[in-house]
């Protein structure tokens, strides 16, 4: 039976409505006004989509088909369809049921409390921002909105600090714990701003960091400053963060390895927080949702205390001269260097070597002798991972391109690197070893 057949037989089948979310506070308030009816079933399910860039907006509308009577929802219990970030490919529409969203919100509340006040600084159409709104709705938590939300303006320490101060005044009145969800890039900017940013972070009872890997030196500094930070792990398919500081939320179960143990180390997640599948993509459901479990693309390990440690992505392994190289493992090693603020590893194709890794680096301060730093990093990588893993070239940048989800835009970085090599701005690194 087709989607059209379902709708004709049941004209009251729940529909999916697109909610375009423009940058700024107005966009968040617009989404909030429609989220309650979506969650309690009195209104249509919603698909939050950013208005910019226009091309991605149109692609999402065309592929996910909201407001189209020929394509009703896969299930009437779906409340929100959230588009993935598209950090490694085209966005997918993840089907999040009211039950899954509630399970996530309640499990979070059991871990961190429910008498909270939230500051919203994440894009409202991404899962991290959506879950701030969902937790706020289920627990009737007040919400403050940072003026930069959704890219309305650049994230700035002074504006964030002002929002934080206003929220803290209200929390002092009603005794609510003050919470915020940030990505590592935002945290880095607050730390770099000095006292105004640090004092703002210290104001919060809980700072969540997620979306991208939090560098260990940053985490260490936050804790030295007395900032209560919790590192989250999860994805859109698990209603966002479902593991905090290595420990799963109640009701969430983590296992390593696929069902046949062909790929040991693959993180598999089960529990009520899991999504129902992908919008209009049963082919992807068969690959990612197996027996109620989410099959991730991440590798992990459990330590002696049962805490989960993320080792990197399974789909970022490239073959360099016949040797398998994990780009995320190289990234992790580089990121631990005290002079490195951020790093992204990509690969380009080469006739001789197959793939060759290239590193893009952002340093904490201006480096007087970049060649010495490159030599040091190359030696460390060669000794600890292997010669094949050593990036053939390392380029310094003032910043890395980012998606609004807080993840590195690797597609843009790869395209720009290829263009720079083609145009001769960078030499092709495949000619020498």
Question: Is the pLDDT score of 184 beyond 60?
Answer: yes
Cα dihedral across residues 378, 379, 385, 389: positive or negative: positive
Assess contact for 355 and 319: CB atoms under 8 A: yes
pLDDT digits (tens, 9 = 90+) for 368-407: 889 999 999 999 999 998 888 999 889 999 989 888 777 7
Same domain membership, residue 188 and residue 251: yes
Residue 130 lies in a domain: yes
Same domain membership, residue 255 and residue 375: no
Q: Can you state the angle between helices 157-174 and 195-203, rounded to 10 degrees?
A: 30
Residue 316 lies in a domain: no
Give the chain's domain count.
2
For residue 430, what pLDDT is reported?
A: 52
For residue 95, what pLDDT is reported?
A: 98
Same domain membership, residue 297 and residue 196: yes
Same domain membership, residue 113 and residue 232: yes
List the CATH number of the domain containing 145. Answer: 3.40.50.12780
Instruction: Name the CA dihedral angle for 133, 135, 141, 144, rounded to a multiple of 10 degrees.
Output: -30
> Band of the pLDDT at 328, cuts 50, 70, 90?
confident
329 vs 119, higher pLDDT:
119
Of 302, 332, 354, which closes a domain? 302
Mean pLDDT for 341-367 is 87
Same domain membership, residue 365 and residue 271: no
pLDDT digits (tens, 9 = 90+) for 56-94: 888 889 999 999 989 989 999 999 999 986 554 567 899
For residue 299, what pLDDT is reported?
A: 86
Same domain membership, residue 330 and residue 294: no
Mean pLDDT for 330-359 is 87
pLDDT digits (tens, 9 = 90+) for 187-200: 988 999 999 999 99
> Band of the pLDDT at 428, cuts 50, 70, 90?
low
Question: Is the pLDDT score of 261 beyond 50?
Answer: no
Mean pLDDT of the chain: 88
> Distance (Å, rounded) from C-alpha 375 to C-alpha 168?
47
Tokens of 151: 């890219």
106 vs 220, higher pLDDT:
106
The rounded Cα 430 to chain-centroid distance in angstroms is 32
Please tell me what DSSP assigns to residue 205: S
Q: Who's near 99: CB < 8 A, 6+ residues apart?
A: 77, 272
Residue 432 lies in a domain: no
Same domain membership, residue 342 and residue 201: no
> Distance (Å, rounded) from C-alpha 399 to C-alpha 395?
11
Same domain membership, residue 120 and residue 25: yes
Residue 314 lies in a domain: no
Same domain membership, residue 143 and residue 60: yes
Q: Can you state the angle between helices 127-138 and 98-112, rounded to 10 degrees?
A: 80
Closest-CA residue to 19 (of 28, 10, 6): 28
Question: Is the pLDDT score of 315 beyond 50?
Answer: yes
Residue 312 lies in a domain: no
For residue 90, what pLDDT is reported?
A: 64
Of 302, 335, 363, which closes a domain? 302
For residue 100, what pLDDT is reported?
A: 98
Residue 275 lies in a domain: yes
For residue 215, what pLDDT is reported?
A: 77
Question: Is the pLDDT score of 3 beyond 60?
Answer: no
> Band of the pLDDT at 432, cuts 50, 70, 90?
very low
Same domain membership, residue 211 and residue 106: yes
Same domain membership, residue 365 and residue 289: no
pLDDT digits (tens, 9 = 90+) for 11-62: 446 899 999 999 999 999 999 999 999 999 999 999 999 998 887 888 889 9
pLDDT digits (tens, 9 = 90+) for 154-168: 899 999 999 999 999
pLDDT digits (tens, 9 = 90+) for 263-309: 558 899 999 999 999 999 999 999 999 988 999 988 888 889 989 98
For residue 280, what pLDDT is reported?
A: 94
Same domain membership, residue 166 and residue 89: yes
pLDDT digits (tens, 9 = 90+) for 413-423: 888 888 877 77
Count of alpha carbons within 13 angstroms of residue 264, beta-carbon side: 2
Segments forming the whole domain that contains residue 366: 321-422
Residue 392 lies in a domain: yes
Q: How far apart are the first and last CA of the chain?
A: 58
Residue 350 lies in a domain: yes
pLDDT digits (tens, 9 = 90+) for 225-237: 999 999 999 999 9
Instruction: Name the CA dihedral angle for 3, 9, 14, 19, rounded to a multiple of 10 degrees.
Output: 50
Omega before 53 cis (within 30°)? yes
Please tell me what DSSP assigns to residue 408: B
């Amino acid at each position: 039976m087709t989607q059209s057949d379902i709708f004709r037989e049941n004209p009251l089948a729940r529909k999916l409505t697109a909610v375009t979310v423009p940058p700024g506070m107005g966009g968040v308030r617009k989404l909030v006004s429609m989220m309650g009816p979506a969650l309690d079933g009195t209104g249509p399910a919603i698909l939050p989509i950013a208005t910019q860039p226009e091309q991605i907006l149109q692609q999402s509308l065309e592929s996910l088909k909201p407001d189209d009577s020929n394509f009703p929802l896969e299930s009437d219990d779906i409340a929100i369809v959230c588009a993935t970030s598209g950090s490694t490919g085209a966005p997918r529409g993840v089907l999040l049921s009211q039950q899954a969203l509630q399970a996530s919100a309640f499990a979070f509340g059991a871990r961190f409390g429910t008498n909270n006040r939230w500051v919203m600084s994440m894009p409202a159409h991404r899962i991290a921002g959506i879950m701030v709104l969902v937790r706020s709705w289920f627990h009737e938590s007040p919400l403050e909105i940072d003026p930069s939300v959704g890219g309305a303006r650049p994230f700035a320490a002074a504006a964030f600090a002002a929002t934080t101060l206003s929220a803290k005044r209200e929390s002092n009145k009603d005794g609510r714990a003050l919470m915020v969800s940030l990505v590592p890039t935002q945290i880095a900017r607050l730390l770099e701003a000095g006292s105004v940013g640090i004092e703002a972070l210290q104001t919060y009872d809980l700072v969540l960091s997620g979306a991208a890997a939090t560098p260990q030196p940053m985490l260490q500094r936050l804790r030295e400053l007395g900032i209560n930070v919790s590192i989250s792990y999860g994805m859109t398919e698990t209603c966002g963060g479902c593991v905090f500081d290595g420990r799963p939320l109640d009701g969430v179960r983590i296992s390593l390895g696929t069902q046949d143990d062909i790929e040991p180390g693959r993180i598999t997640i089960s529990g009520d927080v899991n999504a129902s599948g992908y919008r209009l993509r049963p082919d992807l459901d068969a690959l990612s949702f197996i027996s109620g479990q989410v099959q991730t693309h991440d590798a992990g390990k459990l330590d002696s205390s049962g805490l989960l440690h993320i080792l990197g992505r399974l789909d970022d392994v490239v073959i360099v001269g016949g040797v398998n190289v994990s780009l995320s493992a190289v990234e992790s090693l580089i990121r631990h260097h005290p002079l490195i603020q951020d790093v992204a590893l990509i690969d380009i194709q080469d006739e001789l070597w197959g793939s060759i890794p290239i590193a893009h680096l952002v340093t904490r301060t201006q480096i007087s002798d970049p060649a010495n730093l490159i030599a040091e990093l190359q030696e460390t990588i060669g000794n600890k991972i292997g010669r094949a893993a050593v990036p053939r070239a390392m380029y310094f940048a003032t910043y890395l391109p980012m998606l609004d989800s807080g993840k590195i835009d690797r597609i843009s970085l790869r395209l720009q690197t290829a263009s720079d090599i083609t145009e001769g701005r960078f030499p092709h690194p495949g000619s020498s070893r």
